[in-house]
Every structure is written in C-alpha cells, then in structure tokens.
C-alpha cells in the first residue's frame, strides 16, 4: 500500500512520536477523508500504511491519502474531545457524523429569583405604585445562549415539550406568560386570568410575596421536588382552614388538585431519577438512528431522533481503530453520538443506553463537564420501560427514513432514466432550479434551489435581487440570474481545462438546470449558456400544461430535442414538480420580505445601531411609518417605550 504514497508522506509517518494525539487524512483535492485519535500516533498511523488492506473500504480510503496533519495532546481524554470537535467541524467522509439540526429549547424564568420562605404576610398592604414586571417572574419559551440573570430549565427535546411545560405552569401555579411591555400597560386582567391560567399580577390581584411563593414552587417542581411541593401546599391549605380563611384555603385546594392530576398523568410519583438521558440505537440498511429521550425533574419530556451520515464507511474504519476484535456498528454509532452530542449540550449524571459504551469515553466527558456520568446498559423497572420505549421509537423512525429515502431514490432514478443522464453515481445527481417572483414588477427576486443526494440541500439555496431591468420582465430577470450564477464558474472551468488541472468539487456544473417556464425562458437560458460556452443539454424548462393543470407539465430542452411529457403518474415528474415548487416557494418568501421592506422603508431604521425588530415596530406603530418617524423630533422619539434620550438623538441624526 505504501507504494502508492509519496516519500514525503511516508517520512512524516515514520517521524511521528509515540504520544497521544489526533490525526487527519486529506485527499488530492484537499478534502478531509478521516479524523482519528490514538494513544500512540506512531503505532496507529503506521498501521494504515504498513498493512495491505486490499480492495476493502479501508484500502480505498488509504489509497486516496496524499497529506496528513497531526496534533499531539496530553491525554487520551483530550484526544477524544479534539477528535469529535474536528469531526463536527471538518465533516470527513469516513467518520460517523451527527449534524446539529438546531439548538435545544429551554423553559425560561425571568425576573428576580424567588424570595426566601420568610415571606411578607399575605395581608400586607398593596403598594400604591403599579406592579413592576421585575417583581413577577415570567415563564416563557427560549432558545439561544443563557444569561445569568435568568433561570433556565431543560434542555427540552422539542418546542412542543416546552409549551406543554408552560401550560402546566399556568394550570398549576398560574404564572404569567405575557411580555413585560404588555404587563406594564395592563389596566384590567386578560383572558388568562378569567380562565384561571394566571393570577393577575399585572393589576395587583396577587401580592408579590404570594406570587414569589408560586414561582418558588414551580421551580422546585421543575427540579423534581414535586412531592415536597405537594406537602407544602397541603400544609398551607390546612393553616388557612384553621384560621377560617376559607377563600385562601380553597385556592390552595384547587392548586393541590391540579398538581395531583399532573403527577398522576405523568406517572412520576415513585420515580427516584431526576435527570436522565435514554439513548437507543438502531442500524439497518446502511442507515442508523439514535433516539434520545429526556427525563428532567423526574418527568419524561419526550424524545428526538438523530440520523448520522457515513455509517457504512465509518463503521469499517471504526473497527480498524481498535486493537482487539471488531466493535459492533451499533456501539460505534452510539459512542459517536455521545462523544459529539455532549461536547456542547449539558450532560446528566445518568445515561441509560441500549449498547455498552466505553468507560474511557464517559471518563473523558465527565472531566469536561465536571459531572461524574455513569451509563446503565441493562436497566430495570422504570428505566427498563424508558429504554424499551426509546428502542421502539428508534426502530419506527429508522423505518420511516428508509421508506422515505427509498421513494426519493426511486424518483431520482426515474428522472435520470427519463432524461438519459450519464451518471457514475446516482447519489451525486445535482439539480439547480431557478424561479422569478415579483408583484406587478415590484421587488423582483430570483431563487436558486439545489437538489442533491436525493434531497433538497437547504444550505445551498441562494436568492438574487434583480436590478436594472424593466419591472415585470421575467426574461431579463432570468438572463441576469443565470449570468450571475454561472459566469464565474464558467471562467474557472476554462482556466482549469487550460492548465490541465482537476476542478475543485465546488466548481462543478450541475447535471441539470431547471427553469420554471416554457420556450421563452429556455431560449433566454440558451443564450446565456452559449455566451458562456456551457453545455446546452443541461438546460430543461418546466412548461405548464393545458389549463395549467398539475400533472400535465412538459419538459422543454435547450439543445433542440422534442418536448417530453412524462405522464401525471411519473415518478420523474413528481421529482421535477417537487423541485420546481420548492424554487417557487423560496422565491415567493424572499420577494414578500423584500417588498415589505421597500414599502415600510424599514431598512432605514435597520441600519441604525441599537434598533432591533421590537423597537422598529414600536416606532413605526407610534408614528405611522418611516415618514412619520422622520418628521418627529428627538423628544417625540424618546417618548416611545424602550427608546432612551441618547438613542432618540441617534435616530434623529440618522434620518436627517
């Protein structure tokens, strides 16, 4: 195997130290092939170049290596953390990779922390001033970076789980959910007070001390101290009853009943676990699913599935990483998820797992998180029930994914066959689709959406603002967007051909360019491609059928071929329609946003530092639009909520 590699690379391998570290392999195009860790860099890396791997996946990967980078670290734990940080950053082809689809949501408590138990008496006089939001904590949904001045509970697996928790806080503890600006300007209680979902702190219907007690109980409940909260409420209820304060006792009785009902529904009366993550893995058909279920404060909050990429190639590489027998692919997938997931997400002290995981992995993550974590592989009782549920969900989610991917792959193959596309690998089929959108010539925008690997690639979508054309001229708009999209690409391809070099992966033309339109739009695209020296066979127009009915569309070609009608039930036409509709949706949303900005003139305010969406909305609402803001004095602007005198001066100067 070493005969295929340069002497320089082999000298680098021979000079590696026998120290722990992380290594990266690169191919001729500079793409990262693999990221690995080693207790001894010299021993691990040398094994790749000394052994004959034959025609295996490992051998195929090793034959592509032209460059290597290594980083020496102090311990195996550091190597593990660095390895997974690099995997998430570099997206190597031969590593199991879990992509972050989005951050986790939290339940947020604003305002000052709850007061101690030595609260002011309930019959304390109501202050003469209006209630202040800071005295009455607000419960809300939150996603983003946490701030020390507020309290956060979670993370939760989904937005739905947070909203369920907020509804619970309203039912049992009657905490407010309104914005501070609304709270400060209420003169009478809202509907939530009428339906007993809020205690009405905005109009003084509850004392700050009593509200703080409700907040404290809510936080204790979220931390898993539900039984203690229940006993405290019952004791307060009996104390009011003994004093013949029956109204207060009845309020607490209703709160106890609501909390008891919640505990019964959630089945958390006898659960000793407070914070637990349950992880189940299922592998089938070259795909994998890890189902993460969360228990926080003793309550099962729901679950979320994760689907890694590169499972087949990475599983072979992962087995080669071990000195002993091959590690099952399920264990590799689960350990990859744990290592990558808990780098940025708080880790609970207990993990219930469907497969045994490395103690070294848990030790490394424990050192990083500052929390001693244990993994329970064969749980009992309630934990067993949680794991069984997670395993069932993992199997169901993976079956759904395989069914969807099978259907999408069938559509891709049907389109490739219908258009006689010459492809070495069907997964690489790349389609770019363009659409033009405007309203009576206003705010014209073009969209470009991308289909590859059997799905829409949202991260590669692009919008183009169209300028310098007659309003409503879709042909001129199409000429402009195609020229802007492909002119630099065509020039780079010509330079690569002249120099005899291989174009970078990002400089390759799509296999198909779809334009939403018939002969007119295709003719315009043909002119652009001819001027750029690009293949006309790439261009296909999607022409509306008779009566513009769905399913009657015909494909129009720029290279002179006859129009093609695929048939209403054709899988190929379904894929074309899917891509075309996505381009139209993306163009419409961009055009509407641009049109709204043009009509309100909001961009003038957006450019002023310190003016965000809320302040901009308040200014526009107060003065009836940007023109009204321009005509207002600095003193008038400062009268708007949230606008200081200094900021008002800056706004006035910016608009004049």
**pLDDT over threshold 70, residue 171:** yes
**pLDDT over threshold 90, residue 281:** yes
**pLDDT over threshold 80, residue 263:** no
CA 629/CA 623 separation, integer angstroms: 6
State how far Cα 513 lies from the chain centre: 29
353 pLDDT band, cuts 50/70/90, is very high
Which residue's structure tokens are 């399920």? 330
Reduced to 3 states (helix: H, G, I; strand: E, B; else coil), residue 643 is coil
Q: What pLDDT does 117 receive?
A: 46
Q: Is the peptide bond before 528 cis (omega within 30 degrees of 0)?
A: no
CA 15/CA 385 separation, integer angstroms: 53
Q: Which two tokens stand for residue 651?
A: 């706004």
CA 59/CA 79 separation, integer angstroms: 25
Reduced to 3 states (helix: H, G, I; strand: E, B; else coil), residue 450 is strand
What DSSP string runs through 132-169?
PGGGS-BEEEE-S---TTSEEE---SSHHHHHHHHHHI
**pLDDT over threshold 80, residue 393:** yes
Range list of β-strands (E), 150-275: 151-153
How many C-beta atoms lie closer than 10 Å to residue 195's C-beta? 9
- Give the number of residues written for the chain: 656
Higher pLDDT, residue 69 or 131 = 69
Q: What pLDDT does 129 receive?
A: 52
**pLDDT over threshold 50, residue 156:** yes
Average pLDDT (616-632) is 76
Higher pLDDT, residue 435 or 50 = 435
Higher pLDDT, residue 350 or 468 = 350
Q: What pLDDT does 269 receive?
A: 40
**pLDDT over threshold 60, residue 297:** yes
**pLDDT over threshold 80, residue 298:** no
CB-based burial label for 40 (10 Å; 0-12, 13-18, 19+): middle
105 CB-near residues (< 8 Å, 6+ apart): 141, 142, 143, 154, 155, 156, 158, 159, 161, 162
CA 417/CA 403 separation, integer angstroms: 21
Average pLDDT (187-197) is 88
**pLDDT over threshold 80, residue 18:** yes
**pLDDT over threshold 60, residue 444:** yes
How many C-beta atoms lie closer than 10 Å to residue 297's C-beta? 21
Q: What pLDDT does 124 receive?
A: 44
Nearest to 402 by CA among 288, 572, 570: 288
Q: What pLDDT does 317 receive?
A: 65
Q: Which two tokens stand for residue 56?
A: 């295996």
**Pair 425, 454: CB distance under 8 Å:** no
Q: What pLDDT does 120 receive?
A: 44
**pLDDT over threshold 80, residue 625:** no
Q: What pLDDT does 100 receive?
A: 62
How many C-beta atoms lie closer than 10 Å to residue 445's C-beta? 24
- Give me the residues paired with residue 516 across strands: 542
320 pLDDT band, cuts 50/70/90, is low
Please give the C-alpha separations between residue 22 and each of 67, 289, 336, in angstroms, as whole numbers: 14, 27, 15
196 pLDDT band, cuts 50/70/90, is confident
**Percentages of the chain per state (helix, strand, coil), in multiples of 5:** 50, 15, 35
Q: What pLDDT does 114 receive?
A: 53
Reduced to 3 states (helix: H, G, I; strand: E, B; else coil), residue 423 is coil
CA 574/CA 571 separation, integer angstroms: 5
Tens digits of per-residue pLDDT, 476-521?
889 999 999 999 888 888 887 777 666 565 667 889 999 988 888 8
CA 394/CA 292 separation, integer angstroms: 9
**pLDDT over threshold 80, residue 40:** yes
**pLDDT over threshold 50, residue 216:** yes
Tens digits of per-residue pLDDT, 562-594?
888 888 778 888 899 899 999 988 888 776 665
430 pLDDT band, cuts 50/70/90, is very high
Higher pLDDT, residue 415 or 117 = 415
Please give the C-alpha separations between residue 461 and each of 384, 485, 532, 574, in angstroms, as whole numbers: 44, 12, 22, 20
**Pair 215, 201: CB distance under 8 Å:** no
Higher pLDDT, residue 554 or 262 = 554
CB-based burial label for 138 (10 Å; 0-12, 13-18, 19+): buried
61-70, 149-158, 238-247, 588-597: segment of lowest average pLDDT:
588-597
Higher pLDDT, residue 158 or 555 = 555
Q: What pLDDT does 433 receive?
A: 94
For 453, what's the count of Cα atoms within 13 Å in the CB-facing half-sphere? 6
Domains within the chain, CATH numbers bracketed: 2-90 (3.40.1440.10), 106-266 (no CATH), 276-399 (3.30.420), 429-597 (3.30.420.340), 601-655 (1.10.150.20)
121 pLDDT band, cuts 50/70/90, is very low
Q: What pLDDT does 270 receive?
A: 43
Higher pLDDT, residue 2 or 572 = 572
Q: What is the average pLDDT score of the chain? A: 80
CB-based burial label for 19 (10 Å; 0-12, 13-18, 19+): middle
Q: What pLDDT does 600 receive?
A: 45
**Pair 498, 459: CB distance under 8 Å:** no
């Amino acid at each position: 195997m070493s005969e295929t590699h340069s002497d320089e690379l082999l000298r680098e391998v021979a000079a590696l130290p026998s120290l722990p570290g992380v290594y990266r392999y690169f191919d001729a195009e500079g793409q990262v092939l693999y990221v690995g860790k080693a207790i001894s860099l010299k021993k691990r890396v040398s094994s790749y170049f000394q052994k004959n791997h034959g025609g295996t996946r490992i051998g195929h990967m090793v034959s592509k290596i032209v460059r290597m980078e290594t980083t020496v670290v102090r311990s195996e734990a550091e190597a593990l953390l660095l390895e997974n940080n690099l995997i998430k950053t570099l997206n190597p082809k031969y590593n199991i990779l879990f992509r972050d689809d989005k951050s986790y949501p939290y339940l947020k408590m604003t305002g000052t922390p709850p007061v101690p138990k030595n609260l002011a008496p309930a019959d304390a006089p109501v202050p003469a001033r209006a209630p202040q939001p800071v005295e009455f904590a607000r419960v809300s949904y939150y996603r983003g970076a946490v701030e020390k001045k507020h309290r956060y509970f979670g993370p939760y697996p989904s937005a739905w789980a947070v909203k369920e928790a907020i509804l619970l806080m309203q039912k049992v503890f009657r905490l407010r959910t309104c914005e501070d600006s609304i709270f400060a300007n209420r003169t009478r209680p809202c509907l939530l007070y009428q339906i007993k979902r809020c205690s009405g702190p905005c109009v003084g219907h509850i004392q700050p001390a009593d509200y703080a007690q409700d907040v404290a109980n809510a936080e204790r409940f979220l931390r898993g101290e539900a039984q203690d909260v229940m006993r405290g409420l019952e004791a307060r209820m009996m104390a009011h009853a003994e004093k013949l304060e029956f109204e207060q006792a009845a309020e607490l009785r209703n709160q106890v009943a609501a909390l008891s009902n919640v505990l019964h529904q959630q089945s958390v009366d006898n659960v000793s676990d407070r914070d637990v993550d349950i992880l189940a893995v299922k592998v089938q058909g070259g795909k994998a699913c890890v189902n993460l279920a969360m228990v926080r404060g003793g309550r099962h909050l729901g679950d979320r599935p994760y689907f890694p990429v590169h499972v087949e190639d990475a599983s072979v590489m992962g087995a080669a990483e071990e000195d002993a027998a091959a590690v099952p692919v399920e264990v590799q997938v689960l350990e990859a998820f744990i290592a990558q997931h808990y780098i940025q997400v708080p880790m609970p002290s207990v993990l219930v797992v469907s497969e045994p995981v490395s103690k070294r992995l848990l030790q490394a993550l424990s050192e990083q998180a500052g929390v001693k974590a244990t993994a329970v592989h064969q749980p009992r009782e309630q934990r067993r029930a949680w794991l069984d549920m997670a395993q069932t969900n993992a199997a169901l989610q993976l079956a759904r994914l395989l069914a969807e991917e099978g259907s999408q792959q069938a559509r891709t193959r049907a389109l490739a066959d219908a258009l006689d596309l010459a492809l070495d690998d069907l997964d690489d089929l790349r389609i770019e689709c363009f659409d033009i959108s405007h309203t009576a010539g206003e705010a014209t925008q073009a969209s470009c959406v991308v289909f590859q690997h059997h799905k829409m690639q949202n991260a590669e979508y692009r919008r183009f603002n169209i300028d310098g054309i007659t309003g409503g001229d879709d042909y001129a708009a199409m000429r402009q967007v195609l020229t802007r999209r492909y002119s630099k690409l065509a020039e780079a391809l010509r330079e690569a051909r002249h120099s005899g070099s291989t174009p970078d992966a990002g400089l390759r033309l799509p296999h198909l360019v779809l334009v939403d339109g018939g002969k007119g739009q295709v003719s315009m695209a043909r002119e652009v491609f001819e001027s750029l020296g690009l293949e006309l066979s790439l261009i296909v127009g999607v022409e509306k059928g008779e009566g513009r009915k769905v399913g009657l569309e015909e494909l129009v070609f720029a290279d002179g071929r006859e129009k093609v009608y695929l048939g209403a039930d054709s899988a190929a036409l379904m894929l074309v329609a899917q891509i075309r509709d996505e381009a139209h949706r993306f163009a419409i949303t961009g055009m509407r946003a641009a049109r709204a900005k043009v009509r309100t003139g909001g961009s003038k305010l957006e450019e002023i530092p310190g003016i965000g969406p809320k302040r901009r909305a308040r200014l526009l609402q107060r003065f009836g639009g940007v023109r009204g803001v321009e005509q207002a004095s600095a003193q008038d602007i400062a009268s708007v909520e949230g606008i200081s005198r200094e900021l008002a001066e800056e706004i006035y100067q910016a608009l004049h």
